[in-house]
Every structure is written in structure tokens, then in C-alpha cells.
């Protein structure tokens, strides 16, 4: 009987220890889960299709719907690919490829015309991990300038190639050069004629001259990638090159700070190193992403006539779509519940 009583007490002791261990394990599991939740890498994507004098009264309902539908589709598909673990470089390149294929945007097939009736294309791409970058300017026979910019980054010792040299590099890297007639879009040609007519009458034509496309992502591996592609300015002369292929002006990416793609009057964006200035304000002055974008776009550029805007994101996945013009084709999405698809102010 005494032995039975001792055995019963021993069993109760074991049960108590088991219960304590379960509580301890439960507590450890909860802490581990919390830590894992806190360390989830944010992801985000922002895109733009150009900024300028974009007025609702000048855009038909059907055309406005076409822009919004396309922007929404691109931002949703790009974000889904980031969620699935696709690297940022691939997402940026493919999103911009799609925009380069669309006559809705001043890039690739929708590029505007130079004064002599040609299409000259510029693009750049930058990876924020080691600040690697590639760019091309003034190419006329490359269907996807952003893809060639990536090849410059990955397959050469250079950052920026231009004109016939860039096309020679393209051919040596397996890029099929196309007939320039591929880029002809009637509405873009009519814009050239309209601008030249106004120019002959000494009228202001600046508001019709620019547009760009761009994409910036923060991927699941903490890498920030930014890319920009453009057909430049309508009626541009003398081989003019804007900010889009200039690293630090139209494009910038740095994993420790921000990624930026710009659109607007390129001369101002070059002179004020807009993309890098935003990163510097974030990194060295400690401004938030939005405050940095506001300072550059509204306080520095706007007073001197630097019309345009940027799409940007920071290393935390916060986004900014900031412009001082009448409109900017834009979209953004992150895993903090932000989704924006818009055109006008």
C-alpha cells in the first residue's frame, strides 16, 4: 500500500513536469514566431509612365481607362512576382519591357520623334547591393533599351554606352537589331509636326516635349533595383540626351537607402542630381523618404521651372510618388497595405 502511494505521487510529479515543459515549449514557440514575424523582409514596387501637363479634359474616358487598367495590371503582376521570390532585376526589366512595347508611353515603340524625324532611345538600370549600373543613350535599332542597359551592366566594364557603339555592343551580345520603322507611331509623329509648327510661330512647346517610364522594386532579398527608359523629348536636336540614362539623375538604387526613377524636364534633373539627392537626404540628413522627395521636387525644382516627378521607395518598403506637374502616370504597392493607381493631381 505504501509502495502504491509513493508510485502515485511519482506519477503526479511526472505529469506536473510534463505540463511545465509544455508551457515552456509553448512560450519558446511564441517568441520564435514573433521574432520571425518581426524579421520578414518587406517588398514593394513603384512604377511611372511619365509626368507633365496631363489634364483630365485632354484625355478621353477610354484612354484614361486604358492607362489605369494597364498601370493596375503591371503593379499587381509585379508585386505578385516579388511575393513569389523573383529577383528585383528581372521584375524591373520585364515591367519596363512591357511599357516599352506599348504605344501609350514615350519609351520603346511609343517613343517620340527627334527634330529630323527619328527615334532615339535612352535607358538605365541600377542594382542597389553593390551599386552596379548600366545605361545606353541614343540607340535607334534596339527594341528593348532597358534590356540592353542590363547587358551593359552585366557584360561589360562600362556604365554608359551610346549610339552606334551601343548598337555594336548589342549585336555582339546576341541582341537582334530591328528596323527603325518599328518605332513609328502616328500620334507621336503628329505631335512632332504640332511642336514644330508652334516652334515656327515662336510659341512655347515645352509642355509637350517629355515623358518616360520607370520601375523601382524592393525584393524579398532586400535588394533595391531601379530602371528608367525613354524616347526623350519631342523635336530634340543635336543628339540631346536627358536624365534617364544618367545614374544619379534619372535613376538611382542603393540598398542602404532608397531607389528612385525620375521623369520630367531632364536638364533640371541632371543639374540637380535629383535621384541621388533624394538618397543623400534620406541617408545623411535623416529625412523620411517622403520628406526627401518633397524637398527635391517641390522646394528645389519647382521654383526654377524643373517640371516633373519621381517614384521612389526606401529600404523599409515605404513608397513615394511625388510630382510638381499637372499629372503623372503612376502606381505603387507594398506589403503594408498600400496600393495606388492614379494619373492626375
Same domain, 223 and 311: yes
**pLDDT at res. 2:** 39
Same domain, 13 and 143: no
Q: Which of 212, 228, 230, 322 is catalytic?
A: 212
Same domain, 243 and 190: yes
What letter would DSSP give residue 90?
H
Q: Is the pLDDT of residue 34 over 60?
A: no
Same domain, 122 and 11: no
Measured CA distances, 310 to 71, 102, 226 (Å): 16, 21, 11
pTM of structure: 0.87
Q: What is the pLDDT of residues 284-335, one digit of tens each?
A: 999 999 999 999 999 999 999 999 999 999 999 999 999 999 999 999 999 9
Same domain, 114 and 226: yes
Same domain, 11 and 103: no
Same domain, 300 and 322: yes
**Domain residues for 248?**
44-344
Banded model confidence at residue 211, pLDDT cuts 50, 70, 90: confident
Annotated catalytic residue 33: no
Same domain, 130 and 17: no
Same domain, 192 and 233: yes
Which long-range contacts (C-beta less than 8 Å, at least 24 apart) are formed by 58-62?
59/343
Same domain, 171 and 213: yes
Same domain, 136 and 185: yes
Q: What is the pLDDT of residues 59-103, one digit of tens each?
A: 999 999 999 999 999 999 999 999 999 999 999 999 999 999 999
What letter would DSSP give residue 184?
-
Same domain, 12 and 141: no
CATH number of the domain bearing residue 107: 3.60.20.30
In angstroms, the CA 64 to CA 198 distance is: 26
Q: What is the pLDDT of residues 119-140, one digit of tens each?
A: 999 999 999 999 999 999 999 9
Please give the tally of structural domains in the chain: 2
Identify which has the larger pLDDT, 239 or 3.
239
Amino acid at each position: 500500500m505504501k509502495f502504491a502511494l509513493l508510485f502515485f505521487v511519482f506519477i503526479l510529479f511526472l505529469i506536473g513536469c510534463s505540463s511545465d515543459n509544455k508551457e515552456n515549449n509553448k512560450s519558446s514557440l511564441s517568441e520564435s514566431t514573433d521574432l520571425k514575424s518581426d524579421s520578414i523582409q518587406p517588398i514593394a514596387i513603384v512604377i511611372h509612365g511619365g509626368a507633365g501637363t496631363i489634364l483630365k479634359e485632354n484625355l478621353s474616358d477610354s484612354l484614361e481607362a486604358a492607362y489605369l487598367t494597364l498601370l493596375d495590371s503591371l503593379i499587381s503582376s509585379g508585386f505578385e512576382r516579388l511575393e513569389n521570390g523573383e529577383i528585383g532585376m528581372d521584375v524591373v526589366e520585364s515591367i519596363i519591357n512591357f511599357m516599352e512595347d506599348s504605344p501609350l508611353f514615350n519609351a520603346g515603340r511609343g517613343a517620340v520623334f527627334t527634330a529630323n524625324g527619328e527615334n532615339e532611345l535612352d535607358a538605365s538600370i541600377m542594382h542597389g547591393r553593390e551599386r552596379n549600373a548600366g545605361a545606353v543613350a541614343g540607340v535607334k535599332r534596339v527594341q528593348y533599351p532597358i534590356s540592353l542597359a542590363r547587358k551593359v551592366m552585366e557584360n561589360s566594364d562600362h556604365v554608359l554606352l551610346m549610339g552606334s557603339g551601343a548598337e555594336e555592343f548589342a549585336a555582339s551580345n546576341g541582341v537582334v537589331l530591328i528596323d527603325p520603322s518599328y518605332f513609328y507611331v502616328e500620334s507621336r509623329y503628329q505631335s512632332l509636326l504640332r511642336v514644330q509648327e508652334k516652334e515656327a510661330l515662336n510659341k512655347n512647346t515645352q509642355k509637350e516635349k517629355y515623358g518616360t517610364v520607370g520601375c523601382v522594386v524592393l525584393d524579398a532579398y532586400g535588394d533595391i533595383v531601379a530602371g528608367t527608359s525613354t524616347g526623350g523629348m519631342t523635336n530634340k536636336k543635336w543628339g540631346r540626351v536627358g536624365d534617364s540614362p544618367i545614374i544619379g539623375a534619372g535613376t538611382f538604387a542603393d540598398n542602404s537607402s532608397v531607389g528612385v526613377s525620375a521623369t520630367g524636364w531632364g536638364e533640371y534633373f541632371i543639374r540637380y542630381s535629383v535621384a541621388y539627392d533624394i538618397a543623400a537626404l534620406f541617408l545623411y540628413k535623416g529625412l523620411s523618404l517622403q520628406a526627401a522627395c518633397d524637398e527635391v521636387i517641390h522646394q528645389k525644382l519647382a521654383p526654377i521651372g524643373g517640371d516633373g516627378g519621381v517614384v521612389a521607395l526606401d529600404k523599409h518598403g515605404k513608397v513615394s510618388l511625388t510630382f510638381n506637374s499637372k499629372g503623372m502616370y503612376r502606381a505603387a504597392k507594398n506589403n503594408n497595405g498600400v496600393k495606388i493607381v492614379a494619373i492626375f493631381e
